[in-house]
Structure 1
Amino acid sequence: MANLSDNPKHRPWWTQLNGYHWFVMIVASLAWFFDCLDQRLFSLARNPALKSLMPGAEAGEIQAVGKEVTALFLVGWGIGGMIFGALGDRYGRSKMLTVTVLLYSVFTGLSFFSHYYWDFAIYRFLTGVGVGGVFGLAVALIAETVPDGARAGALGTLQVLSTVGNISAAFIKMGIDNLEAGGTIAPGNGWRWLFLVGALPAFLVFFIRGHLKEPEPWLKLKREGRLPTGGIFAPYAALLSDKRWRHNLIVGAIIASTGVVGLWAIGEYAVDLQRIVFRKHFEGLGMAPADIDKAMNAAVSKAYLLSMVGAALGMSFFTWLCGKLGRRASFAVGFTSAAVITALVYWKMNSPMDAYWMTPLMSGAQLGILAGFAIYLPELFPSRLRSTGTSFCYNLGRFAAAGGSFFSAALAKGAYGQFGSPVMERYSAMTMCAIYIVGIIALLWAPETKGKPLPED
């Protein structure tokens, strides 16, 4: 009887990759790494930038505009995903990945030169267009290049490595803060240098253009003349005209939107609550006003780094769970955990010590789900429509998350008080956790893809 270990599918996924597979993994992961770096640099620089660009504005007004700029960034992200997903199916994944990396790098760098909040918002919108295209193209490249037995592990690892981009952003922010405190950078301008660092991924384009090939399934379709033709919306028409792909598109979009809204319209604002409760905590300790900001920033940075450790562990666990329980059961566990843990964190977090153990749990639950998107979404569509379908599902949630940001602001102003209030931050976020119920219901119609090859027509 043959040993199961003789079958490549039963070996650890990383042992099934050859040199070129690893090259594709590294390039796609770097593109997503820098994408996530850009997202996090924006989150860290958003309020300092608006404070500098809106002199005399009150803290509540800055926070309100910050949510609006975030919403515009997410709208750009969604539009970019829709456009470049379709272009990736028509013209090639590697070509379009080059364009998206260059796009978000250039407009991130141009944010350095912002003079007003409105041109800053425009740069963030255009950066979002580039950022939005990366995910669908990167996962399509990996899914169609690596062996079937390595696909789930490789795609889950792509998301795990995104936490490295987030952590790198935190260390870059600390370094810039130190330079600003030491006088090397003019006071109030540290945020500009954060965005200049975010322009560095443009150099990745040289590696993508010279060595990254289109995956064989896409090249086969090109040789056979079966790639989408017509206008930019032709791939969407093809998805919607076929009952199977239309069903998968709707279900995948609802599931992905649930996780994206949960992260960007709820989890993303945990730092706002931390700053409020941390300040109150340090004031209660009798700390001198001059020392409170320094202590608060240090506590927020520590909580963030711990949360990224939790995110990496959560993504790794979710990847393992997808292989053991299947995709549907894993999402059911993930959505339930994210709803319960997020609500408890916003309800009970009252000090830095609370944040040090609560936010890693919340990030593990919220971001763990995203590893499932990288694994599951490309398994729902055929090669000729894979980039379009994956990008649509993943990025439709950006529009929902943008709406969630506005809705969260409406809750804050109307039902729960004013911006900057801990009551607002807590209860608007807890109310938004109901979004996870939508994802759980959608799983009733979700196809199970565990152990199956990538679908084709």
Structure 2
Amino acid sequence: MDTIAISPPKVNTRHWFAFALCMISYLFGGTVSTIMSVYLPVAIPELLKDHASEARLGEIGAYISAIFIYGWMSGGLLFGIIGDKIGRKRTLTLVTGLYGIATLLIVFVKDWQILMLYRFLSGMGVGGVLLVSTVYISEIWEEKSRAIVLGVLAVSFPLGIVASGGLNVLFPVWRQAFWLGLIPTGIALLILFFLPESTKWLQSKNENTDEKPPFIFDARNLPNLLSGSLIFGAVLIGLWGIFSWLPTWVQSLLEAGQDGRKERGFTMMLLGIGGILGGILSGFLINKWGSRKTLMGTFIGCFIACGLLFITNQHFSKIIYFETAFLSLFFGISQGSLSSYIPALFPIAIRATASGFCFNVGRFFTATAVFFVGTLVSFFGGFGNALLTFSITFVIAFIAAYFSKNTK
């Protein structure tokens, strides 16, 4: 049983090396997630080998994007179970190598159906990396700075997304860009041969050799599983619902005839920058106030920022840039805080499985909820009002966090 808090040894060079490898794997997970979107307009016509209509290109592009998300969800759920069975280090080796090799194989792909298979496998690997690296670092790191390093780890993913844009400049031939799969493949070997296994996981396995391991849906863990899934799922719906359609909302505020490319692009940059800063800040806030209070304050901030952004702006002005950055800062804090909070809800023996469930079950509902934006626009009479409705999810997350377990 995980009734006594076991503090890892003081952070040393091996721990920092482990963190560096996890951060690189996490970062390239962000790059691999978005690199196909950058090259879709040139890759798909080549793979079709004939002239295709815009509708056909959009259809195949949607398939390829969707299959990656399904792989991400599947990997997050599957490799959580595997991580609790065979250990954090071996599972992290497996998932990093999986998305590295699958990305590398795209260099040689001949048709779009095989490309879908490789993207599904890449998604599984990325989903596994985001989960297992978070759980692994949370177990090997000392308590006083754990939340800070987890917040920094969380911002590696958006940094990787930014890097995918740079690859488009460096590699005009799309197949060349996918040689980057060599890097995570090499990182997987370094993880296998040089990283220590989680001592907490090893101790948990030794303690549970003669007894049945805990079950994530038993009476002890079910309340935390439900609250963790509800909090993370609600935040995910709000985040993706707003982020996905925010550029369209910005365009709707401009005068007719304006292309809005600069306004939309700068808005998205601010979303990324604010998210990165918020993720870094989250660890310091957790150390000061604890995870639960930090989350509740963050959700209030998200709700207020949404009201400020979508109620007070009927026409585009530069104040939107500041309000967008304000909102994305709270978004970033929420993601960094949840990376620390969710794993701590569960005993070590089922931590990866339960965290994988909480992190990924909400993605199914998120994908569905975002599709309803178009309907909400018609019902509420505009993108601003439609996106404002998504801020209700932060109220739900606040209530769930209020009644959830305090892990501090």
Instruction: Output the TM-score relative to the length of structure 2.
Output: 0.82
User: In the alignment, which residue of structure 2 is the partner of 1:400?
Assistant: 365
User: In the alignment, which residue of structure 1 is the partner of 2:148?
Assistant: 153
CA offset digits 1:268-318 (Å, max 9, x no partner): 3434555x459x66944xxxxxxx6xx82x655544333322112212333
- Give me the whole-angstrom Cα distance separating, in 2, the residues matched to 1:342 and 1:127: 34
User: In the alignment, which residue of structure 2 is the partner of 1:19?
Assistant: 13
- Give me the whole-angstrom Cα distance separating, in 2, the residues matched to 1:377 and 1:390: 6
* One-letter identity of the residue aligned with 1:270: L
User: In the alignment, which residue of structure 1 is the partner of 2:87?
Assistant: 92
User: In the alignment, which residue of structure 2 is the partner of 1:289?
Assistant: none
Structure 1 residues 73, 352: CA separation in 2 closer, same or farther (over 3 Å shift)? farther
User: In the alignment, which residue of structure 2 is the partner of 1:362?
Assistant: 327
Indicate the percent of aligned positions where both proteins have the same amino acid: 26
Q: Is the 8 A contact 1:170 1:301 kept in 2?
A: no
Distance apart, 1:198 and its partner CA: 5.6
- Give me the whole-angstrom Cα distance separating, in 2, the residues matched to 1:448 and 1:163: 28
CA offset digits 1:7-45 (Å, max 9, x no partner): xx9xxxxx9521112112112222211112223435545
User: In the alignment, which residue of structure 2 is the partner of 1:253?
Assistant: 229
Structure 1 residues 68, 334: CA separation in 2 closer, same or farther (over 3 Å shift)? farther
CA offset digits 1:338-384 (Å, max 9, x no partner): 23424554563865845643433332222221101111112111111
Q: Is the 8 A contact 1:109 1:199 kept in 2?
A: yes
Structure 1 residues 138, 428: CA separation in 2 closer, same or farther (over 3 Å shift)? same
Structure 1 residues 397, 351: CA separation in 2 closer, same or farther (over 3 Å shift)? same
User: In the alignment, which residue of structure 1 is the partner of 2:287?
Assistant: 323
Q: How does 1:360-399 map to 2 (within 5 A)?
A: 360-399=325-364
User: In the alignment, which residue of structure 2 is the partner of 1:33?
Assistant: 27
Q: Is the 8 A contact 1:102 1:202 kept in 2?
A: yes
Aligned residues: 396
* One-letter identity of the residue aligned with 2:402: L
Distance apart, 1:80 and its partner CA: 0.9
* One-letter identity of the residue aligned with 1:433: S
The reply to whether residue 126 of structure 1 matches residue 102 of structure 2 is: no
User: In the alignment, which residue of structure 2 is the partner of 1:453?
Assistant: none
User: In the alignment, which residue of structure 2 is the partner of 1:202?
Assistant: 185
Structure 1 residues 439, 193: CA separation in 2 closer, same or farther (over 3 Å shift)? farther
- Give me the whole-angstrom Cα distance separating, in 2, the residues matched to 1:355 and 1:438: 26
The reply to whether residue 139 of structure 1 matches residue 134 of structure 2 is: yes
- Give me the whole-angstrom Cα distance separating, in 2, the residues matched to 1:69 and 1:379: 34
* One-letter identity of the residue aligned with 1:38: V
Q: Secondary structure at the match of 2:372?
A: helix
* One-letter identity of the residue aligned with 1:374: S
Q: Is the 8 A contact 1:166 1:308 kept in 2?
A: no
The reply to whether residue 311 of structure 1 matches residue 275 of structure 2 is: yes
Distance apart, 1:145 and its partner CA: 0.9
Structure 1 residues 332, 172: CA separation in 2 closer, same or farther (over 3 Å shift)? same
Q: Secondary structure at the match of 1:77?
A: helix
Structure 1 residues 321, 68: CA separation in 2 closer, same or farther (over 3 Å shift)? farther
Q: Is the 8 A contact 1:27 1:208 kept in 2?
A: yes
The match for 1:171 among 159, 166, 174 is 166
The match for 1:239 among 207, 212, 216 is 216
Distance apart, 1:391 and its partner CA: 1.5
